[in-house]
Structure 1
Amino acid sequence: MSRGFVKEDDQEETPMVPPRADLPEGLMNYVTSKGYDELLAEKEALIKEREDLEGANEKERRIASNLIHAKIQLLNERISSAQIIDLSEQPKDEVRFGATVSLKIGKANQVQRYHIVGVDEADISKKKMAFNSPIALLLMGKKVGEKAILKLLNGERKFEVIDIEYV
């Protein structure tokens, strides 16, 4: 039936799906094995949520189902493009993807630890930074004792590599 013969109340808006973490065009979608498992678990949770949908009426269920379906499509793109990096093959003496890096930042005596992970795993509140973030890019290839300098508008910030682990 033509959309011209559908009542205005029956028409549905296309759901707005929040975008996933930014992964610039042409950049490989590196993930840790844990990160890949988290993507799969997220997909399973969305599938279950769609199966368990309840709503006041059919229209609400359809809209919610469409939103979940769109989220699953975006997630499937990330899962299919994911390249799992085997951390046991990373050079132990150098900062690379998957490293947990202990850093002295600036003049602080306190050491901070950050895990360099995939864009979907990144969560700075959990001390996980995306491999394509400016700081992670500065640290790549550094060894214990080496410094990386981040140029800022009002100066610079130094990061000294204190320790590197792959867990």
Structure 2
Amino acid sequence: MHRPVTGEVHVSYGQIYVVSEHEDQPDLDETFAGQASGLCGAAVPGFLWLVTGLHTGDVGFTVEVHDREPPVDPVWEDIVEVSFRPLSGDSCLQQWAGERDWLLGLEETDYRVRYSGRGMDRGHELDTRVEGDAADHYLLQFWPATPQPDRIVRQTSQIAAYWHGVARETPPERVEGEGA
């Protein structure tokens, strides 16, 4: 296992991303189009939109790259899984507006991604963290796997339930030239 990110990262607007070769950032509707889970938008190839409870400030964040599927840790309150294929070998975790990024060391192959969070409701209630310990923490895990539909593994927080609802209401992207 490799941990390219450990510690705290800064989030703005309750979001942070995994980016590989994207000049223009896709919008929320594009990234969650047709998904059941609303915490990790993976509908745009080579891009992940990660939702946090905290609106602005530092959250605990760890990224792990595994050779095989890791076990689900019961410490995490909200867990989703999606499929992801980087478009380049330069995939990185990126703060809002590209303010900072961390190279992840991912190969150009199919991955399963597990995004886990705890303390999301506390982070959402806090809204902005300027001091004290992080209210919410996240674990982003990658391992090689064939593509599969996204899924909600565990959902306990109200804010995760809200975002899952948003994703379910976001229709799949229409193909250009499709009906009116």
TM-score, scaled to structure 1: 0.20
More helix by share: 1
TM-score, scaled to structure 2: 0.19
More strand by share: 2
